[in-house]
Chain A
């Protein structure tokens, strides 16, 4: 296996808890978009509208095609900042 044709997939917060994993690596087989990775790794046919995705630490669209070495992340809506709103 060409070790460069691998992507890292990360999940965060409630999504990591519900899926039971936080990080894994996957070999790429042909042209793959982020939605393809979501389907393969979670078994869910569509990306829920509330789930956000990032490629190499930048927000992106689920149709974005990934490249070897990419870090892809899926996570729920963000809730940073003050607790007081």
Chain B
């Protein structure tokens, strides 16, 4: 259940293929894999966004991601999971987050993947600061997942 926080761009689908080949040596070892990839948009709250700085809490962030993977493995019969999250300077189109889950059947793969993503968004210590045309602003809250969210601009 590896987790990785990186300050350089990564290619999420290559990560999935590489990890899958390393982790599951035998053909037929899993029946389902669910993959979520979050990518940076070039707009938010009606404004063009030129880029973003993603801050994290080194140590706590990794610890939190590991804990939610262990929690998911306790709740669903998973074979494995993988999380990669970007930090630092991010450009539109860059992958921000990869969550992949492998299991015997599809239900637990879908459910655990969504659970990991929602927990990551609501509890993992990451913060986004957007670069706009006329300044920067911290993203105050995530966009809606299971619950409605909003952003409070503080341009400066």
Binding site for B on A (CB under 8 A): 10, 12-14, 54, 57-59, 73, 75-85
Contact = CB atoms under 8 A, between A and B. Distances in A.
Interface of B: 36-41, 44, 52, 54-57, 59-60, 63, 85, 96-97, 117, 120-129, 138-145, 149, 154
B70 to A, nearest CB: 14
Contact of A80 (B40, B41, B121, B140): B121
16 contacts: A12-B57, A14-B127, A14-B129, A14-B138, A57-B63, A59-B123, A78-B121, A79-B140, A80-B125, A80-B127, A82-B97, A83-B41, A83-B52, A83-B143, A84-B38, A84-B143
B89 to A, nearest CB: 14
A84 B41 contact: yes
Contacts, number: 97
A85 B140 contact: no
> Dominant SS at the A interface?
loop
A57 B59 contact: yes
Given A10-B57, A78-B123, A83-B96, 17 more contacts: A13-B129, A57-B63, A75-B127, A78-B122, A79-B126, A79-B140, A79-B142, A80-B97, A80-B127, A80-B128, A81-B38, A81-B120, A82-B37, A82-B117, A82-B121, A83-B44, A84-B39
Nearest to A13: B127
Contact of A75 (B85, B125, B128): B125
A54 B60 CA distance: 9
A78 B126 contact: yes
Contacts of B36: 82
B57 A80 contact: no
